[in-house]
Amino acid sequence: MNEGDNKGYGMESQHSRANTYDTYAQMRKKSPILAVDGSGTRIWWVTGFEEAKYILSNHKQFVKDYRNTLTKEEIQQLRPEPELFQLLSYSLLGIDAPDHTRLRALVSKAFTHRRVMSLQPRIQQIADDLIDAFPVDGEFDLIDSFAFPLPIIVICELLGVPIEDRNQFRMWSNTFVEGSSTYAQEMIEFFQYIAQLVAKRRDTPQDDLISALVQAEENDQRLNEQEIDSMIALLIVAGHETTVNLIANGMLALLQHPDQMRRLQESPDLIEAAIEEFLRYDGPVEQATPRYAVEDIEIGGHVIKRGETVMVVLGAANRDPQQFADPNNLKTTLQNNKHLGFGYGVHFCLGAPLARLEGRIAINTLIQRIPHIQLTVPVSKLTYRNSTILRGLLRLPVRLHTKPERT
């Protein structure tokens, strides 16, 4: 088979989304780096662990901003980009060094480990309050009732965003991730809202992350207006979307593996290893955002041409049998779990410590307080969100048997 003939791996249907790991295994069996015809160009799908790690760590050869693959002459021929595109792309996810290095240093000044860890008591309180409100009888959606509100409350309080606006954020976030017929208008409204928040913090700083971002300084440099707006949008979306999926996917995995759930209930100290396994087994980020080859590069006998798109499939790499023994089985006690769930290299997820903390508290509190929680529909009836970057369920219907008591 010629590389350009590899077609038919679209992941848009619900059947494909539900069986995504089988599809990626088929792709990896053909080649851990596989070229698929795109619209006018080849797209390279990377499903092997070592190949994924190599590409993620070589940020000078594989860049986030496609303009960094162009010659000066080609750049001069580009049309000016719309303002909305600039706002969406000019975040840590879409830029390269030296801008990425500068932005990450500045954001790290505000988004510190100490600030994240100080949230632990509040996250625990939120988790307990949400569980207290669960209905004892009848089916309810664990995502709507728990997995979504917990991280959105946390990120809103961390940033200093009015909590009454969280449902609006959910709409904007869904549009950001999945798209819609009114995408441009909704995103403009999203950034206008953020700009108003930033303006208020400039006038009246508070003890929140937006104020810290406005005031962050490194080597006499600060974030400009566009950088701050893009960063806050990224934090709002990525800061809760990934955690929603981590909680829901992790709970689904435990509901499918009751022996693993019992082990965690009996040994709560295993929760850290379990979270790492959830990130490997069915992580919240299925694919890294696109990268582009700066020059013709040969990897594993394949030549990726300058400017071609490279999609690193984190979920597939985390199921590579060359790296993980028996990768399709959940092992919550697995130690030294070197997965790629949050990426690798200079673009490693900045919010990973917060997501891990929320995941540990949320899942541990759920399984300790509600030991007999049950899924109310067959797994085959669950549906996934329309995104191939993020892997998340639309609903997770469950039922309780007894009123959960606080310990």
Pairing of strands 291-293, 62-63: antiparallel
Which range of 85-89, 110-114, 190-194, 395-399 scores highest in mean pLDDT? It is 395-399
Pairing of strands 42-46, 309-312: parallel
Give 286's pLDDT tier (boundaries 50, 70, 90).
very high
Instruction: Reply yes or no on whether the pLDDT at 12 is more than 60.
Output: no
- Peptide bond before 149: cis, by omega within 30 degrees of 0? no
Instruction: Reply yes or no on whether the pLDDT at 220 is more than 80.
Output: no
Name the average pLDDT for the chain. 89
* pLDDT recorded at residue 132: 94
Pairing of strands 309-312, 291-293: antiparallel
Which range of 8-17, 78-87, 125-134 scores highest in mean pLDDT? It is 125-134
* pLDDT recorded at residue 235: 84
> What's the rounded mean pLDDT across residues 99-128?
91
pLDDT tens digits for range 262-277: 999 999 999 999 999 9
* pLDDT recorded at residue 6: 42
Who wins on pLDDT, 231 or 134?
134
Give 8's pLDDT tier (boundaries 50, 70, 90).
very low
Give 2's pLDDT tier (boundaries 50, 70, 90).
very low
SS (H, E, C) the chain: CCHHHCCCCCCCCHHHHHCHHHHHHHHHHHCCEEEEECCCCEEEEECCHHHHHHHHHCCCCEECCHHHHCCHHHHHCCCCCCHHHHHHHCCCCCCCCCHHHHHHHHHHHHCCHHHHHCCHHHHHHHHHHHHHCCCCCCCEEHHHHHHCHHHHHHHHHHHCCCHHHHHHHHHHHHHHHHCCCCHHHHHHHHHHHHHHHHHHHHHCCCCCHHHHHHHCCECCECCCHHHHHHHHHHHHHHHHHHHHHHHHHHHHHHHHCHHHHHHHHHCHHHHHHHHHHHHHHHCCECCCCCEEECCCEEECCEEECCCCEEEECHHHHCCCCCCCCCCCCCCCCCCCCCCCCCCCHHHCCCCHHHHHHHHHHHHHHHHHHCCCCEECCCHHHCCECCCCCECCECCCEEECCCCCCCC
- Mean pLDDT lowest among 161-165, 242-246, 313-317: 161-165
Which range of 187-196, 219-228, 305-314 scores highest in mean pLDDT? It is 305-314
Instruction: Reply yes or no on whether the pLDDT at 405 is more than 80.
Output: no
Instruction: Reply yes or no on whether the pLDDT at 11 is more than 70.
Output: no
- Mean pLDDT lowest among 59-63, 174-178, 321-325, 337-341: 174-178
Instruction: Reply yes or no on whether the pLDDT at 338 is more than 60.
Output: yes
Instruction: Reply yes or no on whether the pLDDT at 303 is more than 70.
Output: yes
Angle, vertex CA 135, rays to CA 261 and CA 151, nearest 5: 65
* pLDDT recorded at residue 254: 97
Who wins on pLDDT, 241 or 79?
241
Cβ-contact 237, 279 below 8 angstroms: no
Instruction: Reply yes or no on whether the pLDDT at 19 is more than 90.
Output: no
> What's the rounded mean pLDDT across residues 38-58?
91
Instruction: Reply yes or no on whether the pLDDT at 172 is more than 60.
Output: yes
| Rg, Å, the chain Cα set | 21
- Burial environment of residue 195 by CB neighbours within 10 A (0 to 12, 13 to 18, 19 or more): middle
